[in-house]
Amino acid sequence: MKKVFRILLIVILVGGGILVFVYLAGKNKKAPVVFETQSPFVTDIIKKTVATGSIVPRKEIEIKSTVPGIIEEIFVEPGQMVKQGDLVARVRVIPEMRELNSAEARLKQAKIKYEDARKVHNRQKKLFDDGIIPELEFQQYLVAFDNAKTELEAADNNLQIIKEGVTKSKGTTNTLIRSTITGMILDVPVEIGNTVIHTNSFNPGTTIASVANMNNLIFEGKLDESEVGKIKLGMQLLITVGAIENVTFNATLEHISPKGFEENGTILFPIKADVELIDTLFIRAGYSANASIVLGKRDSVLAISESLLQFEGDNDDSVFVEIEKDPQQFEKKYIEVGLSDGINIEVKSGLSTENKIKVPQGG
């Protein structure tokens, strides 16, 4: 009985050991690795860089007053179209005391000189009419009288301009502010009652309105110094405006600044591009925009995902992929590549659309 029990115990121990071995062996056994594959495809490759900026009018004019005063009336509002010479605003003149005193003193002096010249002229004219003095001598008094009269008129007009902004002789006025170009009113930064400073040698003056031709817009942006060396004048740009979805505007690069500036530790260079507008769309001045600058383009070329490339050693020219010869059996294939857009890369030689390329692990 003891012998049977011993044999049974031995059988149980041996069977348990076999089961544990089988379990551990099955747990450590790795599933076979199956590599994914991709095939080359035909596509367009576009290599580009992006510049940030905005859309602005090529020519924006600030309308200013030539006389100091107070805005009495405004005839325009933002968005309104105006022609050259159209009224923008009217200014009520507030003369400067120094200029006013000077003009009044000049007028008084001119009146005194005129009265003196008039009396002398009348006296000498009587002598000339009586034949006492010759014509040549009388001519001098006549010229002096005419000069005094002209000076009096000039002094009177000058005082009138300073006080009211209008001349008596011609009826012209500089209190009426007119547009100097044809275009759209973009901004009217003043209101009725505001004081304006006139344009002079020491002050640019108060802007009453800004006018621009909205049919001639440009892209103004900035480009990183690492990219500016890759572009040149005449390059094609693709402009996308944040406020207008699913629309791309064509543009031509027309200016690259020779001098950069620092912003957040990076050197940036200003650029400008002429924008081709779309008749059915209205672009507002100041829209933020991005410009994709096309550095290179290939149409309908054979390409693969750039992540499929492998390199031999430190030589970037030794580019290869692993193509499938038999199911899950791969071999090296050296290829010649071309333009890359950062995702896909052009294949110049070495592959066809029938090849299946191994996707590297982690690729």
pLDDT of 187 strictly over 80: yes
For residue 246, count CB atoms less than 10 angstroms from its CB and return exposed for 0-12, middle for 13-18, buried for 19 or more: exposed
**Structure confidence at residue 71 (pLDDT):** 92
**CA separation for the pair 49, 45 (Å, rounded):** 13
Q: Which amino acid is at 297?
A: K
* Alpha helices for 53-169 (secondary structure H): 97-129, 135-164
**Structure confidence at residue 247 (pLDDT):** 92
Which tokens sit at 213? 């031709």
pLDDT of 185 strictly over 90: yes
Q: Could you tell me which of 214, 167, 187 has the C-alpha nearest to residue 63?
A: 187
Q: What single DSSP character describes residue 166?
A: B
Q: Which region among 102-106, 209-213, 302-306 has the lowest average model confidence (pLDDT)? A: 102-106
Length reported for the chain: 363
Asked whether the beta carbons of 49 and 292 are under 8 A apart, the reply is yes
Architecture of the domain spanning 97-164 = Orthogonal Bundle (1.10)
Architecture of the domain spanning 61-93+171-212 = Beta Barrel (2.40)
Hey, which CATH number is domain 37-45+299-358, 3.40.50.1820, 3.40.50.1370, 2.40.420.20, 3.40.367.20? 2.40.420.20
Q: What single DSSP character describes residue 170?
A: T
The residue among 171 and 32 whose pLDDT is bigger is: 32
Q: Which region among 135-139, 259-263, 273-277 has the lowest average model confidence (pLDDT)? A: 135-139
**Structure confidence at residue 1 (pLDDT):** 56
**CA separation for the pair 331, 302 (Å, rounded):** 20
Cβ-count burial 71-103 (b if 16+ within 10 Å, e if not): beebbbeeeeebeeeeebbbbebebeeeeeeeb
Largest CA distance in the chain: 182
Domain 50-57+214-298 sits in CATH 3.40.50.720: no
**CA separation for the pair 304, 309 (Å, rounded):** 9
**Structure confidence at residue 27 (pLDDT):** 55
**Rg for the chain (alpha carbons), in Å?**
44
Q: What is the pLDDT of residues 338-349, one digit of tens each?
A: 888 888 888 888
Say what percent of the chain tops pLDDT 90.
29
Q: What is the pLDDT of residues 226-267, one digit of tens each?
A: 888 888 899 888 899 989 988 999 999 999 999 999 998 899
pLDDT of 162 strictly over 60: yes
Q: Where are the domains of the chain?
A: 37-45+299-358, 50-57+214-298, 61-93+171-212, 97-164
**CA separation for the pair 84, 79 (Å, rounded):** 16
